[in-house]
A and B are shown apart, each in its own frame.
Chain A
Amino acid sequence: MNIEKIFAAISAWIILLPLVTGLKIFNRFSKDSYCILFVVFLGTIPSMLKALTTEEHHLNVSYNLYTLAEFFLYYKLFENKVTRFRKGFSALLVLYCIIASLFIFQLGIVNHFLSELVCINSFIYLGWMLLIILEQYRSEKVDLIFEYENPFVWYFSAILIYSSCTLLYFFLEEYIKSRPEPNMHNLKIIHHVFNILLNLFFTAGLLKDGRTIPFRSKNRIGKSRTSIPNSVA
């Protein structure tokens, strides 16, 4: 078993960690954490399929559907954090819907894993996160979005790191797959490492949310709390 396979196995199974953690304490969660738990739950399906089967078509369908579902769940996660740049935020959503439709109609979801779509997802997430940062920067209020006690910090940092660091990998994925050199396939480790990190951050955020009940009453963001996209590849 080479190192890439070890990372791939950990990357596939690690998703159970936030899932189990979330299911154990889900009745104490904020809206953001429910969003993340749902992302994790949906992400578990392709991850488990990948660990248990090699059927290409099933994997492609599950990953592609997950990519779309993840996008809309992250939209729900971020939407109540942006008020000033609402138009820009919604414009990115519309742009994504157009591009995703084109990709799906052109390439389908069965024969091909749409790594390009994952790339676009990451771009849009980064755009949304930039808008949130800008909003926080310009805001005169003391919002608790980036307070350590808020689980959204964990979700936000996980999505930020995962989306930015795997962007290049997904961009080159088709090329990597087409190359015969075994070393090239080791580049998948990049994705595995950040996927593991993502799920660990999600688990931390969920645990934080489960333990910090009093935080909700102080939270000026109100019911909004957050988490990150669980990307699967």
Chain B
Amino acid sequence: MAKEIIIFSILATVVILILSVLVFLFILLLQKKKHIFLQDTANLKTSFERTLLQAQLEIQEETFKNISQEIHDNIGQTLSLIKLTINTIDLQDIPTASNKLIETNGLLTNVIQDLRDLSKSLNTDYINNNGIISSIQQQLLYLEKTGLYKTTLKHSGGLFKLSLNKELLLFRIIQELLNNIVKHAEADEIEVNINTDEVKILIAIADNGKGFDNDLMKQRRAENTGIGLKNILSRMELIGGSINFKHRNPKGSLVLLEIFENDQHEN
């Protein structure tokens, strides 16, 4: 009996010892893995924030450029015209002066409206408060007012909310794409289709312009030139989305953007 108790005690102690050591090793291993995982996550987050900051700086730079261009090409020109018109008013010739004043008043109204539109398109609060769809609509209205484009916006699906940063970046991408249509596409119709569901947002931007030169685009990608395109691609990657450029029949181009509500960068 005594011998059996001794053997049992020794065996039980050995088993407990092994279990204790295993538990302890498990904890150490777990801790190490957790440490590595959290370190990686922190690095990823830092890298994401750095890229985001870079993108925001690029956007800011572009915005300044756009403001400058808008002031120079549109508002500045109109104000110069107003000044010229006012300078040519002959107060002795009342009917002509009256016409010129009416004309000046119209021009001033246009300038004020242009300034308002510019302000709206630059104001990030507007995007935050009204959402991406309303902001896109605003952009299309702005293009429509020029009289050079016929625009259409279609939205289907339910509510979809992106994080603030993502929404802003997406909006700037769309702005850049619309700018590209204005600058290069030679189109007169722009159509934006937005489809949302619980997990993703799908945006299709189509125009009836001259379309893409696929070879040129590939060459620019390969040579890492074409800053605008590069920015669009890197920003889409940043917000965890994808972008596809396609030809549209019979003519024009189609850009498809797909963004998911959550991605690992945000976790």
A interface residue numbers (CB < 8 A to B): 133, 136-137, 140-142, 145-148, 153, 156-157, 160-161, 164-165, 167-169, 172, 179, 181, 183-184, 186-187, 190
Contacts and interface: CB of A to CB of B under 8 A. Distances in A.
B13 interface: yes
B20 A168 contact: no
Interface in B1-37: 2-3, 5-6, 9-10, 12-13, 16-17, 19-21, 23-24, 27-28, 30-31, 34-35
A7 to B, nearest CB: 14
A160 B23 contact: yes
19 contacts: A133-B23, A136-B31, A141-B38, A142-B35, A142-B39, A145-B31, A146-B27, A146-B31, A160-B23, A160-B24, A161-B24, A164-B16, A164-B20, A165-B16, A169-B9, A172-B9, A184-B2, A184-B5, A184-B6
B3 A183 contact: yes
Contact of B17 (A145, A146, A161, A186): A161
B2 A142 contact: no
Interface residues on B, range: 20 to 34
B16 A190 contact: no
Contacts, number: 60
Contacts of B17: 161, 164-165
B20 A147 contact: no
Contacts of B30: 136-137
Nearest to B42: A142
B20 to A, nearest CB: 5
Q: Can you list the 9 inter-chain pairs with the closest CB atoms, starting with the nearest?
A: A146-B31, A181-B2, A164-B20, A142-B38, A164-B16, A161-B20, A165-B17, A165-B13, A157-B24
B31 A164 contact: no
Contact of A190 (B9, B35, B39): B9
A92 to B, nearest CB: 18
Contact of A167 (B3, B16, B27, B38): B16
Contact of A183 (B2, B19, B21, B27): B2
Given A160-B20, A160-B24, A184-B2, 12 more contacts: A136-B31, A137-B30, A141-B38, A153-B28, A156-B24, A157-B24, A168-B12, A168-B16, A172-B5, A187-B6, A187-B9, A190-B10
